[in-house]
Amino acid sequence: MANYLALDREQLEQELQAQRAVFEGYVKQGLKLDMSRGKPAKDQLELSVDMLKITDLMGDSGIDARNYGNLAGMPEARRFFGDMLGAKPEEVFVGGNSSLNMMFCVIDLAYRVGLADSPAAWGSGAKPKFLCPAPGYDRHFRITEYFGFDLLTVPMLPTGPDMDVVEKLVQDETVKGIWCVPIYSNPDGYTYSDETVKRLAAMKTAAPDFSILWDNAYGVHHLTDTPDHVLNILDECCKAGNEDRALMFCSLSKVTFPGAAVAAMAASKKNIDFILEHMFPMTISFDKVNQMRHVKFLKDMDGLAAHMKKHRTLLEPKFRMVQDTLERDLAECGEIAHWTKPNGGYFISVYTYPGCAKRTVELCREAGVVLTGAGATYPYGIDPDDSNIRIAPTFPPIGELELASRLLCVCIRIATLEKLLQRQ
Amino acid sequence: MANYLALDREQLEQELQAQRAVFEGYVKQGLKLDMSRGKPAKDQLELSVDMLKITDLMGDSGIDARNYGNLAGMPEARRFFGDMLGAKPEEVFVGGNSSLNMMFCVIDLAYRVGLADSPAAWGSGAKPKFLCPAPGYDRHFRITEYFGFDLLTVPMLPTGPDMDVVEKLVQDETVKGIWCVPIYSNPDGYTYSDETVKRLAAMKTAAPDFSILWDNAYGVHHLTDTPDHVLNILDECCKAGNEDRALMFCSLSKVTFPGAAVAAMAASKKNIDFILEHMFPMTISFDKVNQMRHVKFLKDMDGLAAHMKKHRTLLEPKFRMVQDTLERDLAECGEIAHWTKPNGGYFISVYTYPGCAKRTVELCREAGVVLTGAGATYPYGIDPDDSNIRIAPTFPPIGELELASRLLCVCIRIATLEKLLQRQ
């Protein structure tokens, strides 16, 4: 029961046997838990049921949300999301239910046609490349992979993507952009430092239409009394004379109902106008009924913050539970794992001893606990260290979460012991 | 006041002066009416307000519509739309708020990658072509125009597209598909005959992945006691051994709330699976809350039919008003215009004397009545005869509609008189 890294072969084998016995105990419980995706729990969904009772859908300017029209969104929704993203209403386009789909559409458009500043379509010349701070969000990486971009990994630091690496890579004009989750990043829960944001905004890029896809997914999803803040990338890009560089996205999926909420984007008016022009062939208009329902329910930034406090009340104990369990159950093992302690967001990143993440996830699955696949948070699904595990503590009830966290620790121990034995 | 076509120059000039005086009377009224788009009126929207009160969103199979997941749609929604389109649930994919957007995504996919049966992406070889029965729906044509297809006009007959022309054109393997509104076509309100459907399903096409984009937009939008029926294109394609040829679309936009309803598509399971596989990078899931709300409100095909009867009660008098006015106010002028008398749908097609449509629309606009731009119903917006005007009688209140219809007749008279004078 000492530091695993200091044990000899016999001690490792003894400890492995002991931990396997504990593991078998979990297997017998026949668990069936899912900690794989950032999915709100049922009690969080209940926080928004009153929104479904809102039936007054007339806009202030006399627009009936129930009929066709207003492709850019209800004026009150453009104001609301403008406040949320730190942009003027005319810099905002409010869409349908999915910010991921908006990002897909933007990449699709850039690939086919280009963006407002593009000398040519991204897909028209040499194979384009995209920067992927990793670990990061698998569904971001997948969009650019799907369109055939080369994905370039940038190490993710507690201050954001490693800017020394980024600034070097953007000297290549086939590097067209970067995926960013600037606050409470997926999966680490890191928030970009002011310096990172300023460097992203100001750096010289070989591609004149280099674009920052800024997914502000967790901008209001605070979990502590010491919330993080991130600089406004649009403002910083303007200051640096690169006003068309940033495309910001957010959604209310983890505010009200996942997949049944409202998504929006903000960018320079030039980019928004360009994108709207290309949205015209795509659809008549988005679901303005749902836009109005959300704005009338959440009202303004104060209303939104008050609503998010209710989420925090439900989520904070879950995050603390996972962290306390990791602390308690792994402390005695020495430096075999470390994990992030985010002030918000939906995830905790656990870093195992190198080469142990896949095996840990596999063991958890054997015992009935589904985690995000190891490696999923890296481009092409390959974690070079096989170390990162993304923990999504939000969905299971807290009792199940405790069980799952304890099992996770046992599995980390087993995977580490097996690896140490292999290396001996 | 006789047959315009039999008048001499002096009589034409006299009559023109008389009609201009009538026209000036309308101008003085300062009308501000819109008969340009197929938009339901406010009283139609009120028919569905009870849907907004539905808050029970649990699916029969225990799926909570309020959370992520189920990309293909709620099982009950797949059943509902399957019944509506005449397809099995597994042949149905229920999406977001816009069937037009689904069609856009399918063309985008086909252009980039191809469809399930495609030997290659449609955009990868020679410039692809698409068949456009005209007059037809401008937003269909625009999608294929946007992707750079050559648009080939096929004359629209009361039995559907001229199949002799279609069968010839599909011998060209760069002809990749055809836009169809098979029942109560936009703008004529024509319904495809059984023979047309069977020939579309069975014809030999040079392109192995020739696709029929079957927009069943008005399948339940009957306006009379003698509704039209159209054969099921999926069934007919199956019988002919071309089971992957047809892609059917529909939406509830003109059943409940335009732009805030639910759209769906049906095709062979092979095509649906292929499309879903390619939807995966595009989004997490569609708005299942809205799917459940619609299914719980409309319940089944009987519930849907009962609901559509309420729409008919509101719409039938409007269609009759336009037709009665045209009949009454143009009868004495001889054969200077004819128009369609559809059993359903959202439009009436007026055919003016050749070369008079643009001028008629211009005159209406001068007097404050906005019609769909003349030519809009043809590929590239060019009506070779400058004859077709699409009338959308649904949106204005009936009093305004009467005024607008009477004005339309005056404008048709003036445009015809001007044209006849030019030709003298």
User: What are the tens digits of pLDDT across the range B317-331?
Assistant: 999 999 999 999 998
Q: Are A215 and A179 in contact (CB under 8 A)?
A: yes
- pLDDT tier at A37, thresholds 50, 70, 90: confident
Tokens of B83: 């019944």
Q: Taking Cα atoms as reference points, which of B222, B182, B389 lies closest to residue B315?
A: B222
* For chain B, the helix, strand and coil percentages under 3-state DSSP, each to the nearest 5: 45, 15, 40
Measure the CA angle with vertex B17, ends B15 and B20; round to 5°.
110
Cβ within 8 Å, pair A284-B257: no
- pLDDT tier at A424, thresholds 50, 70, 90: confident
Return the pLDDT at A92. Answer: 98
- pLDDT tier at A423, thresholds 50, 70, 90: confident
Q: If you compute the radius of gyration of chain A from its CA atoms, what whole number of angstroms results?
A: 23
Pairing of strands A263-266, B92-94: unpaired
* pLDDT, mean of residues A181-195: 98
- pLDDT tier at A34, thresholds 50, 70, 90: confident
Give the C-alpha separation, A401 to A405, whole Å.
6
B187: preceding bond cis by omega (within 30 degrees): yes
What is residue B404's three-state secondary structure? helix
Cβ within 8 Å, pair B39-A98: no
pLDDT tens profile B200-245 = 999 999 999 999 999 999 999 999 999 999 999 999 999 999 999 9
Nearest CA of chain A to the CA of B380: how many Å? 14
pLDDT at A66 over 60: yes
Give the C-alpha separation, B174 to B404, whole Å.
44
Q: Taking Cα atoms as reference points, which of B142, B114, B225, B237 lies closest to residue B182?
A: B237
Return the pLDDT at A248. Answer: 98
- CA-to-CA dists, residue B121 to B107, B129, B209, B394, angstroms: 10, 13, 10, 40
What is residue B95's three-state secondary structure? coil
The DSSP letter of residue A380 is G
Q: Are A186 and A137 in contact (CB under 8 A)?
A: yes
E-strand stretches of A254-368: 263-266, 337-339, 348-352
Return the pLDDT at B315. Answer: 98
pLDDT tens profile A250-282 = 999 999 999 999 999 999 999 999 999 999 999
Give the C-alpha separation, B311 to B298, whole Å.
14
Give the C-alpha separation, B149 to B213, whole Å.
15
Q: Tell me the chain B residues in contact with residue A104 when contact means C-beta distances shorter than 8 Å.
A: 281-283
What is residue A128's three-state secondary structure? coil
Q: Are B132 and B152 in contact (CB under 8 A)?
A: yes
Neighbouring-strand partners of residue A265: A93, A249
Across the interface, which of A67, A142, A285 has its CB nearest the CB of B281?
Answer: A142
Q: Tell me the chain A residues in contact with residue B252 when contact means C-beta distances shorter than 8 Å.
A: none
pLDDT at B119 over 80: yes
What is residue A389's three-state secondary structure? strand
Task: Supply the mean pLDDT for chain A.
Answer: 96
Q: Which residue of A has its CA nearest to B39?
A: A68
Give the C-alpha separation, A224 to A244, whole Å.
34
Q: Tell me the chain A residues in contact with residue B67 when contact means C-beta distances shorter than 8 Å.
A: 39-40, 45, 257-259
Nearest CA of chain B to the CA of A51: how many Å? 9
Q: Tell me the chain A residues in contact with residue B54 when contact means C-beta distances shorter than 8 Å.
A: 52
Tokens of B350: 């007026």
Give the C-alpha separation, A379 to A386, whole Å.
13
Across the interface, which of A57, A65, A260 has its CB nearest the CB of B289?
Answer: A260
Cβ within 8 Å, pair A260-B96: no
Strands lying side by side in the sheet with B348-352: B337-339, B348-352, B388-391
Phi (first) and psi of residue A149, to 5 degrees:
-65, 150
Q: Tell me the chain B residues in contact with residue A257 when contact means C-beta distances shorter than 8 Å.
A: 66-67, 289
* pLDDT, mean of residues B384-410: 96
Cβ within 8 Å, pair A259-B101: no
Alpha-helical segments (H) within B331-397? 357-366
Across the interface, which of B64, B282, B287 has its CB nearest the CB of A104?
Answer: B282
Q: Taking Cα atoms as reference points, which of B323, B367, B370, B381 lies closest to residue B349?
A: B323
Neighbouring-strand partners of residue A360: none
Chain B, residues 7-46, CB within 8 A of chain A, namely 37, 39-40, 42, 45
The DSSP letter of residue B72 is T
* pLDDT, mean of residues B68-77: 96
Neighbouring-strand partners of residue B371: B35
pLDDT tens profile A205-226 = 999 999 999 999 999 999 999 9
Give the C-alpha separation, A401 to B235, whole Å.
50
Q: Which residue has the tokens 């002991």?
A: A18
**CB burial of residue B174 (10 Å; 0-12, 13-18, 19+):** middle
Nearest CA of chain B to the CA of A147: how many Å? 9
Chain B, residues 278-307, CB within 8 A of chain A, namely 281-290
Q: Tell me the chain B residues in contact with residue A53 when contact means C-beta distances shorter than 8 Å.
A: 53, 55
Task: Supply the mean pLDDT for chain B.
Answer: 96
Give the C-alpha separation, B154 to B178, whole Å.
9
Cβ within 8 Å, pair B139-A284: yes
pLDDT tens profile B244-266 = 999 999 999 999 999 999 999 99
pLDDT at A137 over 60: yes
Pick the residue of B39, B289, B297 with the most A CBs within 10 A to test the interface with A by mutation.
Answer: B289
Give the C-alpha separation, B257 to B184, whole Å.
20
- What percentage of chain A carries pLDDT values higher than 70? 100
pLDDT at B347 over 80: yes
Give the C-alpha separation, B314 to A177, whole Å.
52
Return the pLDDT at A336. Answer: 96
Is residue B143 within 8 angstroms of chain A, CB to CB? yes
Phi (first) and psi of residue A309, to 5 degrees:
-60, -35
Q: Tell me the chain A residues in contact with residue B380 when contact means C-beta distances shorter than 8 Å.
A: none
Cβ within 8 Å, pair A40-B67: yes
pLDDT at A28 over 80: yes
Cβ within 8 Å, pair B259-A139: no
Q: Taking Cα atoms as reference points, which of A188, A230, A211, A90 lies closest to residue A387?
A: A188
Cβ within 8 Å, pair A283-B100: yes
Across the interface, which of B40, B54, B104 has its CB nearest the CB of A67?
Answer: B40
Pairing of strands A175-180, A129-134: parallel
pLDDT at A1 over 60: no
Is residue B121 within 8 angstroms of chain A, CB to CB? no
pLDDT at B1 over 70: no
Nearest CA of chain B to the CA of A422: how many Å? 38
Pick the residue of B45, B47, B66 with the most A CBs within 10 A to test the interface with A by mutation.
Answer: B66
Cβ within 8 Å, pair B100-A284: yes
* pLDDT, mean of residues B337-357: 97
Is residue B108 within 8 angstroms of chain A, CB to CB? yes
pLDDT at A39 over 90: yes
Across the interface, which of A54, A65, A257 has its CB nearest the CB of B66?
Answer: A257
Identity at B90, one-letter amino acid code = E
Q: Taking Cα atoms as reference points, which of B289, B307, B310 lies closest to residue B298?
A: B307
Q: Which residue has the tokens 């989520």?
A: A315
Q: Tell me the chain B residues in contact with residue A99 when contact means C-beta distances shorter than 8 Å.
A: none
